Amino acid sequence: IESQHNAQYQAAKRLLQKKYRKEERLYLVDGFKLVRDALRFDRSVKTVFCCEKTKAAAEALPLGKDCDC
């Protein structure tokens, strides 16, 4: 994502507000450990945002080769 006008970025930004989290029935988690915990406890992960530096670590995860980050 290279622009603040990106639709995925905008959708994620909306989730910072409780109103939209309730409406969408989604929430944000920030950080590798929280994403790992969500997966560990069988929570559905819709989208993962990461920087290039983190991409290698994400690809090392069990589902990493299917990750489009």
Taking only the tens place, the pLDDT of each residue in 5-51 is 999 999 999 999 999 999 999 989 988 888 888 888 888 888 888 78
Q: How far is CA 56 from CA 4, 11, 19, 24, in A?
A: 24, 25, 34, 30
Region of residue 40 (left: phi > 0; alpha: psi -120 to 50; beta: else): alpha
CA angle 9, 24, 31 (to 5 degrees): 50
| pLDDT of the residue at 59 | 74
Query: With helix as H, strand as E and coil as C, how does 4-44 read?
Result: CCCHHHHHHHHCCCHHHHHHHCCCCCCCHHHHHHHHHCCCC
| pLDDT of the residue at 51 | 81
| pLDDT of the residue at 33 | 86
| pLDDT of the residue at 23 | 96
